[in-house]
Every structure is written in structure tokens, then in C-alpha cells.
């Protein structure tokens, strides 16, 4: 029996009478491959030891099935659906600019972009080069948007969360697919690659030594900046800070733009300064300086305030990277762009050096380099009821595991998280077996 028979048919339950050459069946096949290449995002909604174990193997299966397709248009449609499954939520932000009609157009162009990239990869003559092309798509960042990262394949499972693990996943897929190697050599190669890519230890990361509290808010984007809601929302934040003080916490972390205005020279700034004698407060707010406006982190500590400005801005959300005059005239006439702060902002907290990250910045690899602890604040309400926050968390987990960094993440929307480097899955299975044995 050939090794390829190990893999089940796409859908064994499909009736025999179905025409496998029909357009509908072909669409189902390419869509299924896209689902496999997107599986970590959607399995993360059902995170458990079983889904963690199978996730990278589903990705390998997806890569094998991708290589089995021998037509350029099939590569295009796999890329089209993969792009949409990863990034369909991008269009949701248009709702809050009164541009809802653009949402399906944005989704279509996202799919078209990645469909074309996959089709370009098909132009390479050999299957190995095609797979190399697919691997290299992680390094193509349109307008700096780098969320297509195959590293999320290693966040779950037995593989190490670095390029060694990713490369081994791609090579395993290739050698299983390759038909010119004998069965026994193929098994040997796959096993060697599996053990090369295996995670053998957990990186040790520094942690906050002080007691802290992450504040989660759930204010919808269309309500967040309305003047009639600001007072009640701020009152809630102040109550949470006071509650943290009563719980004897030493640090409280609030989400991005928790105070949706410039805090400087306001009564709230004075109040937070007074409260900071009892607890260190980290929160998001705007910061206006001269003709510039920044998306910023405010740190209130012992009566002092420190302001750190965001550097990595969301394309078309916080800055307009191309066709600025055209976009501002016809689509975003009342939107002011943010200015950029330093590339990597750091501060000291309880003798630990902390890297600051605001939303988009927490998914930037550069912020993990030379860092031990990151305190991040986000506003994910732009993409409510979507998979955006799950993909964000996967990217955080990948970089935190790769560089040995602890991340403390306070969010408006879903969901707060304290993220440390990936634990060895083999140890998790051993712990589970011990529990079962004892019971």
C-alpha cells in the first residue's frame, strides 16, 4: 500500500454519484485545503490538549494537499480562501468610518491579493520550489502588515516555536508528498525531521514580581468615543482601580485608549496621579503635542506620569501609507492620522525593564528582541465577533515562545491574557496520564 493511502479522502461521506469534476466539488476541495492551512486560528476557539496535538499535523496535511494540486488556478483559489479565512475581519473596521459598503470589497481584495501570491508560487517549476515560495510568503508584508506568519503552526503541538520547527513542518509535508522516494526512506526522513523540529525544553522568561490586575473592558467601538458615554466609562475604570487597591494589588493595567482623550492637564490626570501613590497605573489614552497626536501609554507612578507613544501604526486605521490625499478626500475626510513615537519604548518597573506595546505593536517581532517582559494594551473592539483576537494571541504566543518573553495583555473587547513561553506538549500529556492513573 502506498503511503499516500494513509491520508483519508477529502470527504469520505460524499455520495458516489457526486460528479468529482464539477465546479462545486473543486471549490470544496480548495476550500478544504485553505481550512487546513488556517486551522490554528479556528481550533484556538476550542483549545485543549487534543486540538493542540492535531493542529500542526492538520497544517502538514494542508501543505500536502496543496502540492497535490497541479493547476495554477487551484493555487490561486487556495490562496484566495486562505487569505479570507485569515483576514476576513479586516473589513469590519470600515463600519465605524461609515463605509460599510466597502466591507465585501475589502474582503474580496484581501482574498485576491493572497490568491495572486499563491499563484505566483505555482509558477516555480518544481514542487519543492513551490513549497519554498509558500514558506516565503511569511516575509511579504504589505504596508508593514505581517500577520500572515506560518509560525502559528508551531504554537500548538510538539514542534518548537521557531524557524527550525516551521521548516521541519514544511519539509515533512514535502517528503510525505514526494513520490520518488521509497516508503522506508520516506518514513526514516519524516521521523528524523520530526525529531529535529521537536521542542525539547521550555524557555525561561522573567515575570512580574509584583501583584497585578489586568482590567478587561467591553465597550463597543461605536460607543467608545461618544461624549455622552465617556463619563460613565471613566467612572467604571476608576472603580476598577480602587477595587485593585483594596485587593492590595501593586499594579493595574487598563486597555488601549481606556481614556479616549488627551489626559494631560485634566482633572482625571490629577486623580490618577493621586491614586498612583497607592498603585502603579498603566493605561492607554491620546497624547497631543504641538501639531501631533499620538496613541499613547500613560504610566502613573508615585505621583508622576510618564508617556510612551506608539510607533507601529495600523495601515489605513492610524496612518494612510499610500494615496493619502485621495483616501482622505473620498473615504476618511474627518480622520486625523497619528504620529509615530520611538521604535521600542522601555521603562523600569520594580527593578525590571518593561517593553511597552500598544495593540498592533504586540505582534511585531522587533519588540520581542532584547525584551524580557512586555506589557501590552489593546482595543480589539474594532473587530468584535471575529477571529482577529485569536490570531493576535497566536502571534503573541509564537514570539513570546521564540524569544522567551512574558506578555501581560489588557484588552478592550476579547480577551485579557498573560502569555509565557510554550510549555512542552509531551509534559502536558504526561500530566494528563498521571491524573487519569490516579483517578
* Catalytic residue set: 256, 310, 359
Classify residue 225 as exposed, middle or buried by CB count within 10 Å of its CB (0-12, 13-18, 19+): middle
Q: DSSP code of 9?
A: P
Residue 103: which of 113, 112, 116, 93 has the closest Cα? 93
Residue 375: which of 395, 398, 348, 394 has the closest Cα? 348
Classify residue 310 as exposed, middle or buried by CB count within 10 Å of its CB (0-12, 13-18, 19+): buried
* Torsions phi, psi for 325 (to 5 deg): -65, -40
Residue 281 CA to its chain's centroid (Å): 26
Report strand pairing: 259-262 vs 251-253: unpaired
Cis peptide before 122 (omega within 30 of 0): no
The C-alpha angle 244, 282, 373, rounded to 5 degrees, equals 105
In the structure grid, which three cell numbers stand for residue 182, read together? 521509497
CA distance to 107, 117, 167, 316, per residue, from 361 (Å):
23, 25, 26, 15
What are the start-end ranges of the E strands in 142-191?
none
Longest dimension (CA), the chain: 76
Contact status, residue 65 vs residue 173, Cβ threshold 8 Å: no
Amino acid at each position: 500500500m502506498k503511503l499516500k493511502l494513509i491520508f483519508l479522502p477529502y470527504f469520505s461521506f460524499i455520495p458516489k454519484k457526486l460528479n468529482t469534476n464539477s465546479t462545486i466539488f473543486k471549490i470544496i476541495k480548495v476550500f478544504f485545503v485553505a481550512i487546513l492551512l488556517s486551522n490554528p486560528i479556528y481550533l484556538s476557539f476550542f483549545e485543549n490538549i487534543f486540538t493542540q496535538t492535531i493542529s500542526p499535523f492538520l497544517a502538514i496535511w494542508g501543505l500536502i494537499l496543496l502540492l497535490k494540486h497541479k493547476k495554477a488556478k487551484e493555487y490561486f483559489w487556495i490562496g484566495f480562501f486562505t487569505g479570507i479565512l485569515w483576514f476576513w475581519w479586516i473589513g469590519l473596521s470600515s463600519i465605524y468610518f461609515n463605509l460599510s459598503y466597502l466591507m465585501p470589497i475589502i474582503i474580496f481584495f484581501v482574498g485576491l491579493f493572497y490568491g495572486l501570491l499563491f499563484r505566483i508560487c505555482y509558477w516555480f517549476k518544481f514542487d519543492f520550489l513551490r513549497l519554498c515560495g509558500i514558506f516565503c510568503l511569511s516575509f511579504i508584508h504589505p504596508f508593514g502588515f505581517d500577520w500572515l506568519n506560518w509560525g502559528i503552526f508551531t504554537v500548538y503541538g510538539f514542534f518548537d516555536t521557531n524557524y527550525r520547527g516551521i521548516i521541519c513542518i514544511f519539509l515533512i509535508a514535502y517528503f510525505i508528498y514526494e513520490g520518488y522516494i521509497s516508503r522506508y526512506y520516506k518514513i526514516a526522513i519524516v521521523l528524523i525531521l520530526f525529531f529535529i523540529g521537536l521542542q525539547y525544553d521550555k524557555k525561561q522568561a522573567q515575570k512580574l514580581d509584583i501583584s497585578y490586575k489586568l482590567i478587561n473592558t467591553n465597550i463597543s467601538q461605536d460607543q467608545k468615543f461618544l461624549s455622552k458615554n465617556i463619563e460613565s466609562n471613566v467612572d467604571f475604570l476608576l472603580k476598577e482601580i480602587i477595587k485593585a487597591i483594596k485587593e492590595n494589588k501593586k499594579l493595574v493595567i487598563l486597555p488601549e485608549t481606556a481614556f479616549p482623550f488627551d489626559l494631560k492637564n485634566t482633572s482625571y490626570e490629577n486623580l490618577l496621579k493621586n491614586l498612583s501613590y497607592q498603585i502603579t497605573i498603566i493605561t492607554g489614552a491620546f497624547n497631543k503635542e504641538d501639531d501631533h497626536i499620538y496613541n499613547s501609554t500613560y504610566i502613573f507612578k508615585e505621583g508622576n506620569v510618564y508617556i510612551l507613544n506608539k510607533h507601529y501604526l495600523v495601515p489605513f486605521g492610524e496612518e494612510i501609507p499610500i494615496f493619502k490625499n485621495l483616501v482622505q478626500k473620498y473615504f476618511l475626510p474627518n480622520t486625523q492620522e497619528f504620529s509615530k513615537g520611538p521604535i521600542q519604548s522601555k521603562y523600569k518597573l520594580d527593578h525590571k525593564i518593561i517593553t511597552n506595546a500598544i495593540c498592533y505593536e504586540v505582534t511585531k517581532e522587533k519588540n520581542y528582541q532584547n525584551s524580557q517582559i512586555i506589557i501590552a494594551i489593546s482595543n480589539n473592539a474594532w473587530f468584535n465577533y471575529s477571529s482577529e483576537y485569536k490570531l493576535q494571541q497566536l502571534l503573541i504566543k509564537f514570539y513570546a515562545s521564540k524569544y522567551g518573553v512574558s506578555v501581560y495583555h489588557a484588552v478592550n473587547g476579547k480577551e485579557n491574557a498573560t502569555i509565557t513561553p510554550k510549555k512542552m506538549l509531551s509534559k502536558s500529556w504526561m500530566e494528563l496520564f498521571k491524573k487519569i492513573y490516579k483517578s
